[in-house]
Structure 1
Amino acid sequence: MKNYNYILYSLLFVLFSATSCVEDAVYEGDLPDVATSTIKLNEIMSTGSPDWIELYNEGTTSVDLSGFKLTDTSQEWIIDNLTIESGSYVTFDCDDSNVSNVSTNFKISSGGEEITLYNASGELIDQITTPDMASQIGLTYGREIDGGEIWTVQSASKGVANSNVNNPPVLIAEPLTEFTEVYEVTASDANGIASVKLVYLVNGGVQSIEMALVDGEYKTSVPTSKVGDLVSYYVVATDITGMTSYYPEDGSNSPAEFLVEGGLKELTFEGAKAGYREEVTFTASPYYPEQVSEIRLYYLLPGQLQDDVNDDKTKVELTKNGDIFTGVIPAQNTDDVIRYYLRVEYIDDTKTYYPKEEKNTDDIVISDFNHDLGTTWPSYTVEAITYDAVVETTINSTQGPLTSITFPTNPVPETDINLVLAYTSTETINEARVYFAVGDSPVYIKANKVSGEDDASFTQTGVTINLKDVLSDASESLSQTGAKVSFYIRIATDTAEYYYSNTGAMSLDNTPGGGTTDESDAFKADPSLWNVYNVQ
């Protein structure tokens, strides 16, 4: 155990504060009455996995702890049928799991918290408020001497005697990889940390990089290496007495290492239409883009093979735009399964693959992905579109020659969109036409029409007009996905023209026959009277 600046004398001589797991709160009442007991709170870990509490029996006889109670600032936990021998220790994990005589129903705040011990009669027999230990990972708060009055930050001694042994720093680190930009470790020591350094070795050169303490962790930026480099490294933490700890444990003699291989940082791909329909564009962001020579995309279509015998793959060299590379697989049929992989080649001739391909020391592929075996490649499937059932609407009219029009209100894209007109007249029907507009703000344009009288289905009683392949004057398709088409019907004889609204009401222009009524201009100027369909 090492002494630190946190020194707290016995409960009867110290004003104390109660510290919540969430926020600090100052105790403002009188000091509590403390019953005499040989059982003491002896050591507390609040930065562990798990946290724990140690009790110590400083007496000369064993003590039955049944009914004794431990509390933090919000929970209490009762010990059940447990005896502690004289001069011995018992420890309880504090991890919320609430296992009898093993672990409590609370954790201990690393920011500091009041811990209290009661005897079986409910009398308070010991109490301590731990200091903020958030930056003291791996250390504990305990009595300098078992059962003694002075509490200190110290090296952990769970279940054994607290002592003044000078231990090396507690150093906790994770492996460093080629993709780590900022390396972070935790280091703590009861006497204090003098320095933490990352020693970085590559191509015969050595860098000793001082790590800075930021928000409780020691951090440093990691040097950028070249693809193909074998990097060795270790971390050394030194306390103010000169004792050291290493990561890896024997790092100065056997440093950790990794090979800089590069590869793809991010890959996205999507079809021009949802479900990988039409062209599928791959967008790749590589590591170390300044060192990339080229990126290739390989793919197999249905029925094609890639193995020891067959080499059916197609190659696409991706186009570079800054640090981004893009390439395209052409449109394929619905339900086709397309297999693919990417290869990144660096200027030193190192090649890496997506997905990542791993080999053993005998150069045999041991990963699930093998770029020479097409059945191991990732894939996507060109999805079919599921459309809603098409709803046919019929509008009847009792005015003029038109008796009804039937049309789909939600046609499927690129399929027949049939407007079925039925009409009757004592005069010859000269024209049966559809006028239309595309979009949310329809306006009448004379050129946007289909002349039904030119269709092979035209008779004196009806005609079917198919809008599937019709384009507007602005080359807008009337059958493409999402198209909103407004339209009306006009029937013409020698003497009159008849315009029909979305309710079947008629507007008349009889001036061709010498009449005086012309309602056509007002009708054409009011698209709210027109019919509408929306392509799915």
Structure 2
Amino acid sequence: HRPVLWKILIDVIDMSTGLVINEIMNNPVNVTDSYGEWFELSNTGTDTIDMNGLTLKDDGGDQHTISQVGGLLLEPGEFVVFGVNDNPAENGGVTVDYVYSNFALGNGWDEIIIEHPTGAILDEVWYDNGASFPDPSGGSMMLIDPYSDNSLGANWMTSTVPFGDGDFGTPGSSNFSDNGFMVNVTVNDGWNLIGLPVMVSDSHYQSVFPNSVLGTLYGYDEVYTEQELLINGNGYWLRFNEDSEVTIEGSELSILSISLSEGWNLISGISQGIEVDDIDDPDNIVIPGTYYSFGETYTSASTLEPGKGYWVKANSAGIISITFSVF
């Protein structure tokens, strides 16, 4: 018989990565919701994203497909603000990049879902009326670390930065400025366990630790992998050629949720020293006595010091939380 010839046509679809729902103003105070609601997307990737054709929707009936002549581009490291009104005199003083319709943000429970034309979900946030997410009035909910899991309410906080007519938020810019809080970290000649104790806009390890050895940052997730960007809550190996003290400047980090895998994990803490007994472990996943620091040798750790990394062992996957309180 004659051979059968199959012709397969494959459409290559750009499934953009790095698109992050970064800030949400669902309940403004100084203007009505119908004028002052907005949310912000950031691009944590390395490629420019054209958002034309993407759909904004919730889990109900709200839906809007982005359509803008010339495209709606989001450059790496930049932000785009979506809002119901683009007149700063009416919307509370927000510079809105794109006006949507048929989409509203509930003051209690609601969802923001970014959908690709193929139906693939690029990012989504389901906030929950204060059960785990912030529940502000007059302030935005903002993602503490743009590289963290934005589906976890513990990774969000209420903005305290005033803008426009007096509400709080940072529309169109980083949620934090790299100033106002400094942490001094002592490092030794050779390999060190380190972490990022503040929030910064440039988390490249040689920006944070400029005297470190190039190409020596390693994270751990069952195996070691070379890294370039530091993430709050993660611990890393990093090498230095001499003993020194590094000053890290950024925005204070006083609350943090850390996802642990079963087995050994490399973690780090917040801007303040925290005793391991004060770490919230609601499911008792941390095996007692398994926090370890590293100097010239491994030492059992009773405190997580800012800027240092630590080993900890978990009996199952889960989340631990660190909170600093002055009381």
Is TM > 0.5 for Structure 1 vs Structure 2? no
TM range (shorter): 0.3 to 0.5
Higher relative contact order at CA 8 Å, sep ≥6: structure 1 or structure 2? 2
Between structure 1 and structure 2, the one with the greater Rg is 1
